[in-house]
Amino acid sequence: MDSSFGLDNEVALSDDETVTVQQVLETLENAWLNEKFSPELLPHQTDIVDCMFEQISGMEENLEKVDQSDIRVEIHRMELDRIRYVLSSFLRTRLEKIEEFCTHIIEEDSTRDPDERYLSPGEKKFAEEFQNNIEQHFERVALRHMPLNVQKYDRQLMKVEPNLKSYVFLRARSTAEGLMLEGMDDTDEPLTMVKDSQHMALYSGVASLVKNGTLQLI
Amino acid sequence: MNSAETEFIAEKELVSIVPNFNYEVIYLISGDIGPFRAGLPVKVPIWLAMSLKRRQKCRIVPPRWMNVEDLEEVKKQELNERFFTKMPSEHYMVEAHLLLSVAADDIPRCEQIRTILKDIWDIRMSKLRSSVDQIIKTNAIHARLDHLTLMEINSIRPLLPHALDQLFRLQNGRGPSQASGSQAFTQ
Amino acid sequence: METRFKHSYCPNYFSLEDILATQERVLCKVEKSVHGLGCLDQSTENEDLVVGTTLQLPFWLAFPLSQTRVRVVSVELPKIYKEAFREVLTADASIVDLSKLGRYFYEFGSHLTKLNHRDSSAINTMLMNAFKDRLRVLIDWAQNLCTDISKVQRLDTLEKELYLEGFKARKELIAWLSEGSSKMCASEMVVNHKKRKRAVVDI
Amino acid sequence: MFGQKGLELIKELNRTPDVLPPFNDDVIRQVLEEMNALFEQNRMDLDKEKDANYAGVHVRHASLERNRRCLLAYLYNRINKIRQMRWEFGSIIPPEIKYNMCEPEVQWFNNYNKILATYMRGIGNKHGLNLTLDRQPPKELYIEVRCLEDYGEYEMDNGDVVTLRKGNMYLLPRGPCEQLIRQGILQHITD
């Protein structure tokens, strides 16, 4: 019997890049922790998520076919449960942010190039409908009964924004040099975060390094 | 992040087991495990070791550091050093917690191990308390936290970072939304 | 156990806390008479508010009126944010019962700094120092699972929120240290709902 | 003082952070009435000569803004609670709670259910994932549970049907139990 259940260990995420499934899972787990601890919504990881779903459903199909008392069945199922949890928690955290900062996120994303957007197409559709739904509710119950000069829903005044000036814990995946953090002044020496060192700092000062993978939120 | 999630992350760490069954390599998404040969040690993630142990399919080999002598040494060092020392495992507390809960019969002098671990944890917690005091007192905008394990970081979450956020906000104005209504009068 | 994304308090348009904090009153002096709104001053039957009248107004009203092109009112700093009191707080903030001074001591205080009063930066410093001093006590209480109501009641709203958050996290950690974490539980919202429902049935 | 009625709405929510109080139609109407009266008065003042009642217009405008903020914050925070209920109780809200919602809130909830379901179906290139499950890290595949109320038949993902009776214990796959445990129908038993 073939123990690999016929799944390829290597997957293509884009035309010129092949990675192992194991690497995809690691990327997902790191993205999950970053999303969990960052105050703002981070770029979507649809490639990674979709790839993981392919793996899960491929594995599930194959598991159906073998003798259910085979010890592998339970082991694989346990692992699938773990991966499904990470996926679910990752997407749930994103959805919670999308709901809370809806207007702000839609607005920010509309200034980005299509392939640089933070919202996945599914999330974008959800965000827009969510925003409509709540604005319609305001309109129906309150705004349209109000005097003309305050009847308009003022997105700029009312939008809820994440507080980027929040403290986060992080670990350097590779060395970052010459950091000038929020609150440091000209007399302070720029900071170096050596590979594997751990820190606490304001998110706003390290956001770009989190997004490019130099720093990992923990 | 709560303890259950921290535990979930720590469960990915590998531990040696001695299985009582034979099986070829299993290709997990997170990496290959096996082959399993009855009586021969093999490394598997903790979540799997726990499950196999519960079903009496293996015995767990305690990690190298999980013994009274080594831990006494760790404790001594932790007491002597002013800063946090490097723990033998990034998840020492969680690993011990998990393994001792299902495999106490595989780990010699487990009660003593529990006590020393508790001591080490307490020493580090009290160091952490003074670090926190220091961070607040000096209004630090950045702190280095080397050698703190995830569960230890978790023990000051969310209170410390959230309190510092408020301190920062009090110091620098009211935050992104100046939520006091528009001042412009338009008719 | 909730997995909801947690972030620290930051006021926005819909914050109940901020709406309540801006309801705190300040003493104002009328600088430009207001026709037809004598009703704002409950101590008089006059139809208008005349120049020179002093009256208490909620901050949400006093603030915009103090920022108009021609100033309608001037705002006096509440006693507890004035210099004399700042000194009391600076001496030992950790023992002062803040709840007696106003439930939104910090939030209201930081709103007051927007008045551009000459004391603004001193108020800022005072708020920060008081918060810092008391924070260590507050963290201790939360870490030691202090449930002494008389102590907790000395906290202002912002502090109380932080304390409760810390308390909850601590309790959860201690439960993990003693029992582990494998148990799944009913959602808090559901449990509360069932309790209330039972209470209603019992009556 | 203006804005008192609006404040009443805010205090009502602040007093009861973990319940949804009955939708307060009455007070909302009064807030709207105050707003319209303020507006009318301002319009009349502004029709007079320029700046005749400069100060009065400012007082009323600030009061209008305040009332709007209170009203919208009331609606927003109620919606937040209703949204949370979708995640705790599931897609069907207990009738006692629904009773406290106004018609547009029920409609908001139904809409939310719909867009959430659409989003979840599309996850993972249309593989679909129910995000209201897997709320806690998984442990064992099977768990022991005690049933707390007579629930009746329950169909699991694999098509198996189990009849849940109050007081009985069951050993069931963890996945399908999760929702019922959250809803307080099953209790997870650990040793």
Taking Cα atoms as reference points, which of D182, D173, D171, D183 lies closest to residue D139?
Answer: D173
Give the pLDDT confidence score for residue B178 in this predicted structure. 40
Question: What tokens does B93 get?
Answer: 């507390």
Same domain, D80 and D170: no
Question: What tokens does C169 get?
Answer: 């996290």
Number of structural domains in chain A? 2
* B164 near A CB under 8 A: yes
Same domain, D120 and D165: no
Q: Is residue D65 part of a domain?
A: yes
C193, with CB counted inside 10 A (0-12, 13-18, 19+), is buried
Give the pLDDT confidence score for residue B177 in this predicted structure. 37
**CATH code, domain carrying C39:** 1.20.58.2050
Taking Cα atoms as reference points, which of B122, B154, B150 lies closest to residue B11?
Answer: B150
Three-state DSSP class for D160? coil
* Pairwise pLDDT comparison (A146 vs C148), residue with the higher score: A146
Angle at D97 (CA atoms; ends D93, D99), nearest 5 degrees: 110
Same domain, A27 and A93: yes
Contact state of D66 with B8 under an 8 Å Cβ cutoff: no
* Pairwise pLDDT comparison (B186 vs B161), residue with the higher score: B161
Enumerate residues 6+ apart whose C-beta is below 8 A from B10. Answer: B46, B90, B91, B94, B95, B98, B150, B151
- For residue C66, the distance in angstroms to the closest alpha carbon of chain B comes to 11
Q: Is residue C40 part of a domain?
A: yes
* C67 near D CB under 8 A: no
Confidence category of residue B187, pLDDT binned at 50, 70, 90: very low
- The b/e string for D12-22 (b: 16+ C-beta within 10 A; e otherwise) is ebeeeeeebee
* B27 near D CB under 8 A: no
Nearest CB to A96 within list C5, C8, C14: C5
Number of structural domains in chain C? 1
Q: Is residue D51 part of a domain?
A: yes
Please name the amino acid found at residue A12: A
Three-state DSSP class for D150? coil
Same domain, D83 and D177: no
Give the pLDDT confidence score for residue C40 in this predicted structure. 84
Q: Is residue C145 part of a domain?
A: no
Give the pLDDT confidence score for residue D191 in this predicted structure. 67
- For residue D153, the distance in angstroms to the closest alpha carbon of chain B comes to 30
Kind plus residue range of the DSSP H or E element containing B143: strand B142-144
Question: What tokens does A90 get?
Answer: 């990752």
* Pairwise pLDDT comparison (C110 vs C46), residue with the higher score: C110
Q: Which residue of D has its CA nearest to A100?
A: D80
Range of the domain at A192: 163-218
Q: Is residue C66 part of a domain?
A: yes
* Dihedral sign computed on CA atoms, order A160, A164, A165, A171: positive
Same domain, A49 and A114: yes
Kind plus residue range of the DSSP H or E element containing A122: helix A121-141
Asked whether A191 and B143 are in contact (CB, 8 A), the reply is: no
Range of the domain at C57: 11-76
Give the pLDDT confidence score for residue D51 in this predicted structure. 72
Taking Cα atoms as reference points, which of D41, D23, D29, D50 lies closest to residue D109?
Answer: D23
d(CA A35, CA D137): 17
Asked whether D28 and D10 are in contact (CB, 8 A), the reply is: no
Q: Which residues of chain D have pLDDT under 50?
A: none
* B181 near D CB under 8 A: yes
Bridge partners of residue B74, in order along the sequence: none
In chain B the first and final C-alpha atoms are separated, in Å, by: 49
Range of the domain at D180: 142-189
Please name the amino acid found at residue A216: Q
Give the pLDDT confidence score for residue B138 in this predicted structure. 86
Can you state the angle between helices C120-143 and C83-91, rounded to 10 degrees? Answer: 30
Which DSSP string corresponds to A72-94?
Answer: HHHHHHHHHHHHHHHHHHHHHHH
Same domain, A68 and A99: yes
* C70 near D CB under 8 A: yes
Please, what is the average pLDDT of chain B? 90
C93-149 residue pLDDT tens: 777 888 888 889 999 999 999 987 788 888 888 899 889 989 988 999 999 998 888
* D13 near C CB under 8 A: yes
- Can you tell me the mean pLDDT for A113-119? 95
C89-106 residue pLDDT tens: 777 777 788 888 888 999
Same domain, D156 and D67: no
Whether the per-residue pLDDT at B181 is higher than 70: the answer is no
Asked whether A183 and A148 are in contact (CB, 8 A), the reply is: no
Same domain, A45 and A126: yes
Taking Cα atoms as reference points, which of A182, B180, B159, B135 lies closest to residue C110?
Answer: B180
* D136 near C CB under 8 A: yes
d(CA B174, CA B163): 15
Interface test with A, best of B2, B7, B27 (most A CBs within 10 A): B27
Same domain, D40 and D103: yes
Whether the per-residue pLDDT at C2 is higher than 70: the answer is no
- Chain B, window 42-61: residues with a beta carbon less than 8 angstroms from a chain D beta carbon: 51, 54
Same domain, A40 and A110: yes
* B73 near D CB under 8 A: no
Give the pLDDT confidence score for residue D1 in this predicted structure. 85
Q: Is residue A192 part of a domain?
A: yes
Kind plus residue range of the DSSP H or E element containing C57: strand C54-58
Can you state the angle between helices A121-141 and A71-100, rounded to 10 degrees? Answer: 40
Same domain, D64 and D107: yes
- For residue B113, the distance in angstroms to the closest alpha carbon of chain A comes to 28
Which CATH code is given to the segment(s) B3-171? 1.20.58.1020
Three-state DSSP class for A184? coil
ipTM: 0.93
Nearest CB to B4 within list D42, D58, D136: D136
Contact state of D124 with A87 under an 8 Å Cβ cutoff: yes
Percent of chain B, pLDDT > 90?
A: 83
Residue B106 CA from chain centroid, whole number: 22
Give the pLDDT confidence score for residue B44 in this predicted structure. 98
φ/ψ of A191, rounded to 5, equals -95, 145
Number of structural domains in chain D? 2
Give the pLDDT confidence score for residue A5 in this predicted structure. 61
The reported pTM is: 0.94
Kind plus residue range of the DSSP H or E element containing D126: helix D103-126
Nearest CB to A146 within list D35, D130, D134: D35
Q: Which residue of C has its CA nearest to A100?
A: C5
Contact state of C3 with A89 under an 8 Å Cβ cutoff: yes
| Cis, peptide link before residue B158, omega less than 30° from 0 | yes
* B157 near A CB under 8 A: yes
Query: For the ranges A8-17, A101-110, B121-130, C79-88, which has the lowest average pLDDT?
Result: A8-17
Confidence category of residue A15, pLDDT binned at 50, 70, 90: low
Same domain, D160 and D97: no
Confidence category of residue A187, pLDDT binned at 50, 70, 90: confident
Asked whether A210 and A34 are in contact (CB, 8 A), the reply is: yes
Q: Is residue A5 part of a domain?
A: no
Same domain, D111 and D33: yes
A26-39 residue pLDDT tens: 999 999 999 999 99
Confidence category of residue C202, pLDDT binned at 50, 70, 90: low
**What are the strands, taking DSSP E only, across chain A?**
10-14, 17-20, 167-172, 176-179, 191-193, 198-202, 215-217
- For residue C200, the distance in angstroms to the closest alpha carbon of chain A comes to 30
Same domain, A74 and A181: no
d(CA B6, CA B1): 7
Confidence category of residue A2, pLDDT binned at 50, 70, 90: very low
- Can you tell me the mean pLDDT for C29-57? 87
Query: Residue C8: its chain A contacts at CB < 8 A?
Result: 163, 166
Query: For the ranges A17-26, B49-58, D72-81, which has the lowest average pLDDT?
Result: A17-26
Bridge partners of residue A198, in order along the sequence: A171
Q: Is residue D48 part of a domain?
A: yes
Give the pLDDT confidence score for residue A7 in this predicted structure. 63
- Can you tell me the mean pLDDT for B109-120? 95
Q: Which of D75, D98, D124 corresponds to the end of one domain?
A: D124
d(CA D128, CA D138): 19
Please, what is the average pLDDT of chain A? 92
Q: Is residue C136 part of a domain?
A: no
Contact state of C182 with D190 under an 8 Å Cβ cutoff: yes
d(CA B39, CA D94): 56
Same domain, A110 and A211: no
Whether the per-residue pLDDT at A9 is higher than 70: the answer is yes
* C88 near D CB under 8 A: no
Query: Residue C194: its chain D contacts at CB < 8 A?
Result: 184
Taking Cα atoms as reference points, which of C87, C65, C62, C88 lies closest to residue C77?
Answer: C62
Can you state the angle between helices C120-143 and C105-112, rounded to 10 degrees? Answer: 160
Three-state DSSP class for D188? strand
**CATH code, domain carrying D38:** 1.20.58.1030
* Pairwise pLDDT comparison (A34 vs C88), residue with the higher score: A34
